[in-house]
């Protein structure tokens, strides 16, 4: 192989992840910012074999490699992007960001391992904190190792602080509808998602009267923004 030339490689999906996020809009911009909701990684044969997961219970967190499959594969390479953290007004090199608009559409996130489901020799993983759309293809799983993966002295460029969280309130109608869904911790999940302000970056510093919708767990959650925070108005079955 000539290392000076670009070469095409093939990457095989080993499974997919089941998440509450029905669409790209409102998926957390980083992993571990959500603690509620059901997240389960399912594996395709033969990668679901129980032997492949021997010892994984000994780890609390995992690295997940995945594919941003909702990004158009035919989009031409863009060397710069506008990170939402900077208000969408400043350009940074794509390799200096975590933008999903990457040359190979590959993502990398840390998730918390909650449990390992073993059923007739087949395995799935229950995790927490994934920042992926429902059905996202999984490329690889590796254990997070604290003494090498955690670097307290690391400098994080323009993302040195955690994002600001906003207050979220619910109308009586929304609370009633949420209870009727029977989905565990659905209210808490909605609150965590909206608290991060999923609106486009150029709107994040302003209140507006628009009625937004977020696809979660098969429901279209309708909400509005104001200077004091966000209010969930009602839910519609998607």
pLDDT digits (tens, 9 = 90+) for 124-158: 999 999 999 999 999 999 999 999 999 999 999 98
Domain tally, the chain: 2
The residue with greater pLDDT, 177 or 202, is: 177
- Residue 10 resides in a domain: no
Q: Is the pLDDT of residue 227 over 90?
A: no
Query: Whole-model pTM above 0.95?
Result: no
Say whether both 34 and 122 belong to one domain: yes
Domain encompassing residue 181: 168-237
For 63-112, how does the pLDDT look when each residue is reduced to its tens digit (9 = 90+)? 999 999 998 877 778 899 998 888 888 999 999 999 998 988 999 999 99
CATH number of the domain residue 79 falls in: 2.40.30.70
Q: Which residues pair with 126 in a beta bridge?
A: 40, 115
Gap between the Cα atoms of 30 and 50, Å rounded = 30
Say whether both 94 and 66 belong to one domain: yes
- Residue 7 resides in a domain: no
CATH number of the domain residue 225 falls in: 3.30.2310.20
Say whether both 86 and 40 belong to one domain: yes
Residue 12 half-sphere exposure, CB side, CA atoms within 13 Å?
6
Say whether both 174 and 201 belong to one domain: yes
Say whether both 137 and 29 belong to one domain: yes
DSSP string, 84-148: GGGTT-S-EEGGGS--S--TT-EEEEEEEEEEEEEETTEEEEEEE-----TTEEEEEEEE--HHH
For 152-201, how does the pLDDT look when each residue is reduced to its tens digit (9 = 90+)? 999 999 888 888 899 999 999 999 999 999 999 999 999 999 999 998 77
Q: Which residues pair with 231 in a beta bridge?
A: 169, 224
- Domain edge (last residue) among 122, 149, 176: 149
Q: Are 196 and 163 in contact (CB under 8 A)?
A: yes
Say whether both 70 and 119 belong to one domain: yes
Q: Is the pLDDT of residue 4 over 70?
A: no
């Amino acid at each position: 192989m000539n290392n000076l030339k670009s070469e095409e490689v093939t990457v095989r999906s080993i499974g997919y992840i089941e998440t509450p996020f029905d669409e790209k809009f409102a998926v957390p911009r980083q992993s571990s910012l959500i603690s509620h909701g059901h997240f389960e990684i399912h594996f395709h044969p033969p990668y679901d074999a129980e032997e492949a997961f021997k010892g994984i219970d000994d780890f609390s967190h995992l690295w997940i490699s995945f594919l941003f499959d909702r990004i158009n594969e035919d989009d031409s390479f863009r060397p710069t992007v506008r990170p939402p953290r900077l208000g969408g007004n400043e350009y940074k090199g794509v390799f200096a960001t975590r933008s999903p608009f990457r040359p190979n559409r590959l993502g990398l996130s840390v998730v918390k391992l909650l449990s390992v489901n073993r059923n007739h020799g087949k395995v799935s993983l229950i995790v927490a904190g994934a920042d992926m759309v429902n059905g996202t293809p999984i490329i690889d799983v590796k254990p997070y190792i604290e003494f090498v993966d955690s670097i307290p002295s690391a400098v994080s460029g323009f993302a040195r602080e955690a994002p600001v969280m906003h207050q979220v309130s619910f109308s009586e109608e929304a609370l009633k509808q949420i209870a009727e869904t029977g989905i565990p911790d659905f209210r808490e999940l909605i609150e965590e998602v909206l608290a991060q302000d999923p609106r486009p970056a150029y709107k994040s510093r302003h209140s507006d009267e628009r009625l937004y919708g977020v696809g979660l767990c098969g429901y279209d959650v309708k909400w509005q923004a104001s200077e004091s925070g966000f209010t969930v108005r009602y839910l519609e079955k998607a």
